[in-house]
Structure 1
Amino acid sequence: MMKMKTPTQVAITPPAGLRRRLGLPLLVLYGTGVTVGAGIYVLIGAVAGHAGVYSSWAFALAAAVMALTGASYAELATRYPVSAGEAAYVRAAFNSRLLSTAVGSLRLATGIISAAAVTLGGAGYMGRLIELPTPLIAVAIVVALGLVAAWGILESVMLAGLLTMIETGGLVWIIGSAIHSGVSFSPALFAPPPLDAGVLSGITFASLLAFFAFVGFEDLANVVEEAKSPQRNIPRAMALTLLITSVLYLLIAAISVSAVPPSILATSTAPLSLVFSAVAGISPTTFNVIAVVSTLNTILAQITMTARVVYGMAQQGDLPSIAARVHSRTGTPLIATGLIMLAVAALALLLPLERLAEITSLATLTIFALVNLSLLRIRSPHTRSDAALARVPLWIPLLGLVTCVLMMGSTLFTP
């Protein structure tokens, strides 16, 4: 006899959610890829224009600030492994929906502005390969990568991982060529900068731009819901990302200002192509292809991450619930991804590269200051503290907060 199902027995398919598909190797490739492409390929010229032969010092200063805040992120990501990232940390610390929404919105803005800046950088390199208007190239880049981001998180990160190996290989190629050619390094690289107001002012402002070059590791906090063993792998991935990028940046900055005059780097739309040509002595066409790949990698990662911030905020109720819809087949937030694509394309057409980078750095420093402050608040004796697998000394978020504020304040004294 056939047994009839009652209404309560009818199977109900739960709403689609994000899937845990990313292990430590893919997380490191993702973090390194978005960081490297966002910075050294695009901004070495702008940094050299302000810091000159002391560009390596600007990158070192930015790396130190980033390392302190990175440690705070590592602890918070183990306490609150959710895609809302910074917005969730602030809400947990201050129990304020308004502040949480403001921080989440600022995080959205930085992701969009950063992607727009790198889109312009990528269009600059691509313009050396094909003769098309820069705005058309920029829009084509955003649309193509937005479609990849909508395809699936595993597919997006695997592609980003492949691109990361190519872009890192390009930097290693420059380093190897410089060693082989016996490039003569500037003596300024091995001595502290002079106590001159103009020099120090240039370095501090350059460090703000160089800070943009490290933006990306924190994106790992916003793919935490798609990471395997997130409380173990996210802190490790953050630490490895910062270590790899710091070493690469310091070496490339030293080689760049030694091989090509900083004034010439500052005026180029494809600065590392000049460096490559100088140290390798061959046509930079192949390197231009690598540079394009690098910037595409960062844009893809930024679109992917920022869509997850939209998703996470919608899950918290800070944005309309429609933005939290995840497609059952792709496992990605399609509506959120489409909105990010439109915003990135619009900004890339409206503002110049250096201005976009400066805005991104200031907004990111503001977020980082609040993240450090949130950890201090959460760890205070009067606030209930959730368990965390990664735990840092309290002086780290305190120093992280101070350095972020000082770096933001230094721009007020830059001519």
Structure 2
Amino acid sequence: MSTLRRELGLLEAVVYGVGLILGAGIYAILGEATGVTGGSIVVSFLLAAAIASLTGLSYAELASIFPKAEGDYIYVRKAFDREIIADVTAFGRLSMGVISSAAVALAFSGYLSVFVDVPSVLIAVFLVVLMTGVNFWGIELSTKLNLLFTGIEVAGLLIIIWIGSGSWGDAQVLQAPNGLFGVVNASFLIFFAYLGFGSIVNLAEETEGATVTIPRAIILSIGITTVLYVLVGLSAVALVDWQVLGRSASPLAEVAAVGWGPFGATALGVIALFSTTNTVLILQISTSRLLYGVSKSEYHVFPETFSRVHPSRQTPHYAVALVGLLTIPFVFLDDIGLVAGLANLMLLIVFVLVNVALLKLRYSRPDADRGFRAPLNVGQLSLTAVGGLLTSLGLIVFYIATW
């Protein structure tokens, strides 16, 4: 069989996006980001959300025109008809997927260390191998686990919001010990938290009514997670000193400990294990689907072997295995901030190309069937795509200048 099984509806696609975004953001990078910006982490969340939303609208429109597992690659290829540009896009997305997976696996080890003294790198490698196995087994099992784990991680965030809601007035949201530089730097790190919306498009060939469902899933995922991010960030800095959060490998457990004592820290630590596990799983799924898509015979970006589908499991088994293997070396960097920064850089390069692709396709294919059209237009010019392009370029310049 050469095609993937369509098992996902709007609910499942939104849950995939929400699960991926939440796990990578709040549970993995909150401490690192708060450590550079203090109480103004709330402002950084809002800034990162605005930037992500601009590019998210471009993804939504492009996914409604080309509902393919190869996602970003096919958008750029159709826009420019230049294989080298499309190949750079495919390489960037593949790199982002495996590097991000490594970063979140390291976050899993950080939370596990609250309970037992374990070698972080080896535990992270074990998690990657285990989730590769689940990915191979089938999209139906992966979807069920994703629904369960996402429910658990959202419950954990609601607990944090409930614990901190009475202290929101104490949060110093304009506190910026490192000034504007710190706010922007934190926004760059937090941008890692929004990588999930770009990966939703890779599930298009396993989604029913993809031309409409995928755009809706992207918009809903960004909206839902932004509300949760802002409220959790507000609760965190209201209850715990920003410097303590910045030093912690398990920041939400620190927040829960203030409200519920040792039991709270334990409960959030366990929930964070589910959350980060869920994120690694979804990253492995979406990245392997991208690899599967760009390895099809009409592209030959990678050997056609990786576009083969297992006859009984109906998953791209060779692509699944390669993505798992490519993830492991980045785990050995053993630095969440560094790994997340590298993932962001690759992601932002892809975002630049995706926004330019939409701008070009608006003129070269104005009559293409669209299940969704980005708002705020002047004629065929998409203002949101222009905004996504400029902000992505700005963050790239910022990252390179501060390397």
Q: Do both proteins adopt the same fold according to a TM-score greater than 0.5, normalized to the shorter chain? A: yes
**Code of the aligned partner of 2:3:** G
Task: Name the counterpart of 1:185.
Answer: 169
1:411 counterpart = 2:391: no
Contact 2:345/2:399, CA 8 A, preserved across alignment? no
Kindly provide the CA deviation profile for residues 47-98 of structure 1, in whole angstroms up to 9, marking residues without a partner as x.
1111111001111100000001111100000100111110100000000111
**Code of the aligned partner of 1:53:** G
Secondary structure at the aligned position of 2:356 is classed as helix
Equivalent residue for 1:286, pick from 253, 257, 267:
267
1:296 counterpart = 2:277: yes
CA drift of 1:384 comes to 6.0
Question: What is the aligned-residue identity percentage?
Answer: 36
Contact 1:53/1:186, CA 8 A, preserved across alignment? no
Between the aligned partners of 2:397 and 2:181, the Cα distance in structure 1 is 12
**Code of the aligned partner of 1:57:** V
Between the aligned partners of 1:156 and 1:184, the Cα distance in structure 2 is 37
Between the aligned partners of 1:351 and 1:170, the Cα distance in structure 2 is 26
Moved more, 341-350 or 220-229: 341-350
CA drift of 1:220 comes to 0.8
Task: Name the counterpart of 1:388.
Answer: 370
Give the 5 Å matches for 1:227-266.
227-266=207-246
Kindly provide the CA deviation profile for residues 219-256 of structure 1, in whole angstroms up to 9, marking residues without a partner as x.
11001000000011111111110011100111111111
TM-score by length of 2: 0.94
Between the aligned partners of 2:270 and 2:289, the Cα distance in structure 1 is 29
**Code of the aligned partner of 2:373:** R
1:75 counterpart = 2:22: no
**Code of the aligned partner of 2:328:** A
Between the aligned partners of 1:396 and 1:99, the Cα distance in structure 2 is 22
Give the 5 Å matches for 1:206-225.
206-225=186-205
The structure that has the greater radius of gyration is 1
Between the aligned partners of 1:397 and 1:251, the Cα distance in structure 2 is 28
Task: Name the counterpart of 1:20.
Answer: 6
Task: Name the counterpart of 1:8.
Answer: none
**Code of the aligned partner of 1:398:** V
Task: Name the counterpart of 1:367.
Answer: 350
Contact 1:94/1:374, CA 8 A, preserved across alignment? yes
TM-score by length of 1: 0.92
**Code of the aligned partner of 1:311:** Y
CA drift of 1:185 comes to 3.5
Task: Name the counterpart of 1:12.
Answer: none
Contact 1:326/1:334, CA 8 A, preserved across alignment? yes
Between the aligned partners of 2:269 and 2:387, the Cα distance in structure 1 is 39
Secondary structure at the aligned position of 2:86 is classed as helix
CA drift of 1:411 comes to 3.0
Between the aligned partners of 1:184 and 1:206, the Cα distance in structure 2 is 20
Kindly provide the CA deviation profile for residues 297-340 of structure 1, in whole angstroms up to 9, marking residues without a partner as x.
00000000110011001012211000111001111011111111
What are structure 1's unaligned runs of at least 5 residues? 1-14
Task: Name the counterpart of 1:4.
Answer: none
1:62 counterpart = 2:48: yes
Contact 2:172/2:237, CA 8 A, preserved across alignment? no
CA drift of 1:351 comes to 4.2
Task: Name the counterpart of 2:19.
Answer: 33
Task: Name the counterpart of 2:102.
Answer: 116
Moved more, 287-296 or 251-260: 251-260
CA drift of 1:383 comes to 4.9
Contact 1:78/1:389, CA 8 A, preserved across alignment? yes
What are structure 2's unaligned runs of at least 5 residues? none
1:398 counterpart = 2:398: no
Task: Name the counterpart of 2:139.
Answer: 153
Moved more, 310-319 or 85-94: 310-319
Between the aligned partners of 1:370 and 1:279, the Cα distance in structure 2 is 45
Provide the alpha-carbon RMSD of the alignment: 1.6
Contact 1:51/1:202, CA 8 A, preserved across alignment? yes
Between the aligned partners of 1:386 and 1:64, the Cα distance in structure 2 is 28
**Code of the aligned partner of 1:335:** Y
